[in-house]
Amino acid sequence: MPIAFDNTYARELKGAYVSVAPQGWAEPDLVLLNTAWAAHLGLDAEYLQSPEGVAMLSGHSAPATAQPIAQAYAGHQFGSFNPQLGDGRAYLLGEVVAPDGTRHDIHLKGSGRTPFSRGGDGRAVLGPVLREYLVSEAMAALGIPTTRALAACTTGDRVLRQHGLEPGAVLARSASSHLRVGTLQFFAARGQTDMVARVADYAIARHDPDLSGTEGRYLAFLSRVGARQAQLVAQWMGVGFVHGVMNTDNCTLSGETIDYGPCAFMDNYDPATVFSSIDHGGRYAYANQPGILLWNMSRLAEALLPLIDPDQDRAIALATEAVERMQDDNRAAWLSVFARKLGFEGTCPEGLVDDLHKMLEGQGVDFTRFFRLLPDAITGTPEPLKALFGTGEGLEDWLGLLTRALDKPDLAAERMRAVNPVYIPRNHLVERALEAASDHGDLNPFLSLLEHVQQPFTLREGSEVYADPAPKDAGPIVTFCGT
Ligand code: AMP
Ligand code: MG
């Protein structure tokens, strides 16, 4: 059964996109279909695997119900404003309403050039497409809001990248919307306040329908986005995730993680962890992420200012107050994530979380393993945890404080195991799996890794290699943008 797309964005936001035509590929082929997610969306997996379905998922052609559009957006990239970015290698096919009533964009990345391509080729290649597939699936399984992978396709041709020619590929993904801070910035920068209002009202209808039509909705919307993003970034922090390119065009209004380019999970705890080849100043380092979020929310506030109050001084005062409150939201969300990781049901003493981070610093401790060994440490087997540490200065004292603060260690240990993953997409495994798929056409390492990260909390016999940190000789991991 073909997909019954609805196209509210195309209908309601004329001027916020350009229509595009699929360009056609040499030999479109389906590499991977996320059948579980397709079922959740109410999409017919048999259709998606048919020649017509694969043509749609790969961007070879589009069915009559779709209305392919490249969305316009601007964005601050590493702090500098670019008034015109937009979908330079992607298009939105349309929206679907899932059986549970939720609305999702179906979007293709790597689908070819658009009027927003600037100097780019409009393409994506298999390795990075599979990386986004894998990491977004891992995030979803970890309970972290994210866009979802629907399918990965190859196009049958090769595309030139840093290390030579690679298989051309397209990722089909869903998102609760692709609205970004940068979507509002696009019109704010052009002084088109009427369009800022239309996009904001559209975003409110999709993400905060209870605010639709209310007085003061734009200020309330700013706070809602801030609260969602605070939760999101706190959850990233809890699993050691470094997004890598937290530009305002990669910051959603929905509060979902989007655009898995130079992202990676930290192995050893180090607040300064950066993977991206271009992030020389460490702007988007692990520990900077909550601060960058606030910066991004200030940019959102600026874009909304003319709508917040006709008196701009008053608008600035209101927006400033809202953003200042977000600072507290950020810390509260972060404390609550770490309280759960430490086995608490509700809140925990703040000092315990701050001391934890101080104690981990400079010790070369694998972040993920630390939290998996913690339940053993508080129930009588502290040795494996201690073995992770260099000097382990302060560890004994901190464990003492934790144990005294927790009511029933056995129950707390169970809670820890339920929220602290065994399997994350470890960088060395991701690199190996992508290389096998891209260079040798062997998808098996990828599929095994995917299976593990899709059930991150379930310890499996014989799966140690998926839980172990990188071997010492693995070398540093460097990731790249726009791949
Ligand atoms: P990203 O860093 O992937 O979030 O992309 C930032 C901007 O660059 C967006 O406007 C993308 O559409 C655009 N872009 C990235 N890669 C390409 C490419 N290969 N061809 C055209 N545009 C691209
Ligand atoms: Mg992007």
Question: What is the mean pLDDT for each group of 10 consecutive residues in the chain (483 residues)?
Answer: 94 98 96 98 98 98 97 98 98 98 98 97 98 98 98 98 95 98 98 98 98 98 98 98 98 98 96 93 97 98 98 98 97 98 96 97 96 97 95 92 95 98 97 96 98 97 96 79 72
The one catalytic residue among 87, 201, 249, 259: 249
Residues 6+ apart with CB under 8 A from 174: 37, 41, 96, 104, 105, 106, 107, 147, 148, 150
The radius of gyration computed from the CA coordinates of the chain, to the nearest angstrom, equals: 23
> In this predicted structure, what is the pLDDT of residue 474?
76
* Cβ atoms 416, 374 nearer than 8 A: yes
Q: H or E stretch including 169? A: strand 164-175
* Cβ atoms 256, 352 nearer than 8 A: no
Say how far residue 472 (Cα) sits from the centre of its chain: 28
Q: What is the mean pLDDT of the chain?
A: 97
At which residue do the structure tokens 């991977």 appear? Answer: 32
Distance from the alpha carbon of residue 116 to the mean position of ligand 1, in angstroms: 9
> In this predicted structure, what is the pLDDT of residue 259?
96
Q: H or E stretch including 158? A: strand 148-161
* Cβ atoms 397, 382 nearer than 8 A: no
Q: Where are the domains of the chain?
A: 8-178, 182-340
The C-alpha atoms of residue 343 and residue 123 are separated, in whole angstroms, by 45
CA neighbours closer than 13 Å in the CB half-sphere of residue 280: 0
At which residue do the structure tokens 């609260």 appear? Answer: 227
311 is catalytic: no
> For residue 342, which of 363, 326, 318, 360 has the smallest C-alpha distance?
360
Of ligand 1's listed atoms, the one at least distance from the Cα of 86 is: 10
> In this predicted structure, what is the pLDDT of residue 475?
77
> In this predicted structure, what is the pLDDT of residue 188?
98
Ligand 2 ion: residues within 5 Å (CB): 250, 259
Ligand 1 near 123 CB (within 6 A):
yes
Q: What is the pLDDT of residues 30-84, one digit of tens each?
A: 999 999 999 999 999 999 999 999 999 999 999 999 999 999 999 999 999 999 9
Residue count (the chain): 483
Q: Which amino acid is at 146?
A: T
Q: What is the pTM of this model?
A: 0.98
> In this predicted structure, what is the pLDDT of residue 279?
93
> In this predicted structure, what is the pLDDT of residue 286?
98
> In this predicted structure, what is the pLDDT of residue 187?
98
> In this predicted structure, what is the pLDDT of residue 392?
84
> In this predicted structure, what is the pLDDT of residue 326?
97
Ligand 1 near 482 CB (within 6 A):
yes
> In this predicted structure, what is the pLDDT of residue 477?
80
Of ligand 1's listed atoms, the one at least distance from the Cα of 119 is: 21
Ligand 1 near 86 CB (within 6 A):
yes
* Cβ atoms 421, 452 nearer than 8 A: no
DSSP state of 78: T
Distance from the alpha carbon of residue 88 to the mean position of ligand 1, in angstroms: 5
> In this predicted structure, what is the pLDDT of residue 476?
76
| Nearest CA owner, ligand 1 atom 1 | 482
> In this predicted structure, what is the pLDDT of residue 61?
97
The C-alpha atoms of residue 386 and residue 373 are separated, in whole angstroms, by 9
Say how far residue 397 (Cα) sits from the centre of its chain: 36
The C-alpha atoms of residue 59 and residue 196 are separated, in whole angstroms, by 30
Ligand nearest to the CA of 87: 1
